[in-house]
Amino acid sequence: MIAVKDNFLRFTPEEYFVWEEQQLERHELIDGQVYAMSGGTINRGRISIKITAMLDSHLDDSPCITGNSDVRINILETTDYSYPDTSVTCDERDKTNIQYISYPCLIVEVLSDSTEAYDRSEKFYRYRRNPVLKEYVLVSAKSISVDLYRKNDLGEWVITQYRAGDIVELRSINLSFPIEQVYRGIAFE
């Protein structure tokens, strides 16, 4: 998703929820400022759908909830809200809120040229403040490439890079899959 700042709109979370329900597109709320989320490429959209469907199918008989890009996440201990491409929560506290989740164990972002730097830096900084988050996954829409950030037992984030031929391992939800599964039918320029 591409975030476009709207310089005139500032909201409290309560005002934001009411206002956004009336909008045609989604908006993130960061530091009281809203950012419109615009579309991406066909490859990006198809990859996002494949990932979300795969995770949802894997977790079908579990108490976990898989969210697509319409599921908002509250950045814990802030009044900020964002829309990752895919998220998973297995936390009971998220089952009673219909507007957002706060305790994801896994967040996936499919990269685009306009958001890659933000997804790798500031957005990841915000997400990793959540003590429940175990894995943050960045998926390329331009090549067969997945970067997985996993929190180790010391609380440090360690990166594992997956490329063609690799098996991606998501320990947070006990799922391993060939990286090519995410890229089936995707043609790169």
Q: pLDDT tens digits for 48-61?
A: 999 999 999 999 99
67: which 2 tokens?
């969210």
Q: How many residues does the chain have?
A: 189
pLDDT of res. 135: 98
Distance separating alpha carbons of residues 26 and 70, to the nearest angstrom: 8
pLDDT of 2 higher than 80: no
The CA distance from 126 to 85, in Å, is 16
Buried b (16+ CB within 10 A) or exposed e, 18-41: eebeeeeebbbbbeebbbbbeebe
Taking the C-alpha atoms of residue 104 and residue 41, their distance in angstroms, rounded to an integer, is 26
Amino acid at 109: E
Note the pTM of the prediction, 2 decimals.
Answer: 0.92
Residue among 111, 107, 137, 108 nearest 40 (CA): 111
- The rounded mean pLDDT for the chain is 92
For residue 171, give the 3-state DSSP assignment.
helix
> What's the pLDDT band for 64 if we cut at 50, 70, 90?
very high
Q: What is the topology classification, in CATH, of domain 41-183?
A: tt1808, chain A (3.90.1570)
Q: Could you tell me which residues come within 8 angstroms of residue 90 by beta carbon, excluding any fewer than 6 positions away?
A: 62, 63, 64, 65, 105, 173
Q: What pLDDT is recorded for position 8? A: 63
Measured distance CA(104)–CA(92) in Å, rounded: 11
